[in-house]
Structure 1
Amino acid sequence: MSPRQTAGLGALFVAGCYLTGIAFVLGPLAPLGLGTGAMDGAAVLQLTRQSPWLLPLWMTVIYDLSALGTALAGLGLARALARDLPHLALASAATALIWTGLTLASGMVARAGLAELAALAPQDLPRALETWRILHLIETGLSGRTEALGGLWIGLASLAALRIGALSGVAGLLGAGVALAGLATYLPPLSQGGGMVFGLGAILWCGWAGVEWILPRPAET
């Protein structure tokens, strides 16, 4: 498998993780109001008591597995770029790996929040809910509330892939739009709307780019 195809496999894996995460949010996790600003610790506590495996499984998919897919895509693309665009390859790889680290850290904080909520609730419910709220803010701050780093990587990846002919113009334009949406989340008034556009756009871009990268070029067939 070539480095470009490795990047494609990683991108498709990321898209699959995000789609699975959305299926959870719209299905068994719908009562929590994830992504609506209405999520609260009481609902999380009730769900963890009823189905203690559900939220950890969701976190594994959207944080751990998607982060590994991002690392695979970022490093595969960097190897494909190394000969023709070495500086852009380094910048792209570094951005992808930092994004990977922040995503994994967000998952760790999320699990810590669940553990503290479950441990403190029987003795001091208000304290448990406040502790969870603080940890949840840290979780979303690391990954989700601000998507600028993800937008930067997608923008760099799209630019670099276009320059070596590894991505179509339409996919490149899509990547640019997704990058702008991610960068817009740096501005608090645009955080929620930009995050939604980035999330949906990132799924489409990862799927599209993944297919283009994983299929052999005419010269390779």
Structure 2
Amino acid sequence: MKTNIEQKKKMSGLQKIGGVAALTQAVVYLVAMVLFLGILIPAGYGTSTDPIQNVAFLADNQTAVYTVNVLIYVASSVLVAVLALALYNLLKANSPVLTQTATVFGLIWAGVLMATAMIASIGLTTVVDLYGQDPAQAASLWMAIEVVQDGLGGGTEIVGGIWVLLASLAALRTGVFPRILNYLGAVIGAAGIVSVVPALGGLVDLFGLGAIVWFAWLGIVLLRTSPSALEAQQTRQKPAADQAST
């Protein structure tokens, strides 16, 4: 009896931590959007057709660009990893295979975000140092770094899309969370996946905007719904899921 109580308390703690991580991730996305659209881009970040001028902007605003990179990628990496593990604990009982697969992609995405942060940060410092010696070479190096950075995250969201899609499908199967929330996750997850197609690259913006809503809504649900209520939802859904699998 004592073991069951302790286990429920542990699961409750993980659920609340996941809720905080989800809400914080939504805030991170919003703040990053404001910084890019409201400050950096109007100030000239990446807007010139001359690569040397773009690098000159980086040299003049190195601290601001570095701060934004850390906020977007480092913070997001940690928050996604925490949320992926919290969702795993909630969903694994009734949909183990789908949940395990989703969690793998969630942790991969967290790793990709951290790798992007390191490349962007070290690349920025290297380019700014090189700019004082050879502006043309610094511009060429920065263009190469941007290609790698976009390939890992930003230009496409295939890994994050797979995680959001699979986690939403697992939640649908287990009966956890509002169905509309799960459908929203499936849609934006699919948008992230197909953004890898060049002709559909614009859907990466849909993924980003939709993810803000998904993270915020998911965080609210995790924080406001008691673990016993979520467990009851899974119990009610389990007979239907078992019947569908037979």
Question: Given the two structures, how large is their TM-score scaled by the length of structure 2?
Answer: 0.81
Equivalent of 2:206, from 193, 197, 212?
197
Letter in 2 for 1:206: F
Aligned to 1:130: 140
Give the alignment of 1:146-161 within 5 angstroms: 146-161=156-171
Distance 1:38 1:177, change over 3 A: farther
Q: Aligned equivalents of 1:36 and 1:86: distance in 2?
A: 47
Deviation at 1:79, TM superposition (A): 1.3
Q: Aligned equivalents of 2:112 and 2:221: distance in 1?
A: 27
Aligned to 1:30: 41
Q: Aligned equivalents of 1:133 and 1:205: distance in 2?
A: 32
Aligned to 2:77: 67
2:8 is the counterpart of 1:8: no
Q: Is the 8 A contact 1:15 1:203 kept in 2?
A: yes
Q: Is the 8 A contact 1:4 1:213 kept in 2?
A: yes
Distance 1:44 1:140, change over 3 A: same
Percent identity at matched positions?
Answer: 33
Letter in 1 for 2:41: A
Distance 1:65 1:166, change over 3 A: same
Q: Is the 8 A contact 2:19 2:220 kept in 1?
A: yes
Distance 1:218 1:58, change over 3 A: closer
Aligned to 2:241: none
Deviation at 1:131, TM superposition (A): 0.4
Give the alignment of 1:1-221 within 5 angstroms: 1-31=12-42, 40=51, 42-49=53-60, 51-191=61-201, 193-217=202-226, 219=228
Letter in 1 for 2:137: R
Letter in 1 for 2:98: L
Aligned to 2:234: none
- Single out whichever of 128-137 and 37-46 deviates more from structure 2: 37-46
Structure 1: segments with no counterpart, 5+ residues? none
Deviation at 1:38, TM superposition (A): 6.5
Q: Is the 8 A contact 1:106 1:142 kept in 2?
A: yes
Deviation at 1:82, TM superposition (A): 2.6
Q: Is the 8 A contact 1:48 1:55 kept in 2?
A: no
Letter in 1 for 2:125: A
**SS in structure 1 opposite 2:39?**
coil
Deviation at 1:83, TM superposition (A): 2.4
Q: Deviations over 1:5-43 (max 9, x none)?
A: 332222112111111100101222123666989695523
Structure 2: segments with no counterpart, 5+ residues? 1-11, 230-246
Q: Deviations over 1:33-62 (max 9, x none)?
A: 66989695523432432x432111111110
Q: Aligned equivalents of 2:157 and 2:48: distance in 1?
A: 17
Q: Aligned equivalents of 2:49 and 2:72: distance in 1?
A: 20
Q: Aligned equivalents of 2:148 and 2:207: distance in 1?
A: 20
Question: Given the two structures, how large is their TM-score scaled by the length of structure 1?
Answer: 0.90
Distance 1:218 1:60, change over 3 A: closer
- Larger-gyration structure (1/2): 2
Q: Is the 8 A contact 1:151 1:182 kept in 2?
A: yes
Distance 1:11 1:190, change over 3 A: same
Q: Is the 8 A contact 1:31 1:43 kept in 2?
A: no
Q: Aligned equivalents of 2:51 and 2:38: distance in 1?
A: 18
Q: Aligned equivalents of 1:136 and 1:15: distance in 2?
A: 24
Distance 1:111 1:137, change over 3 A: same
The structure where helix makes up a greater share of residues is: 2
- Single out whichever of 68-77 and 27-36 deviates more from structure 2: 27-36
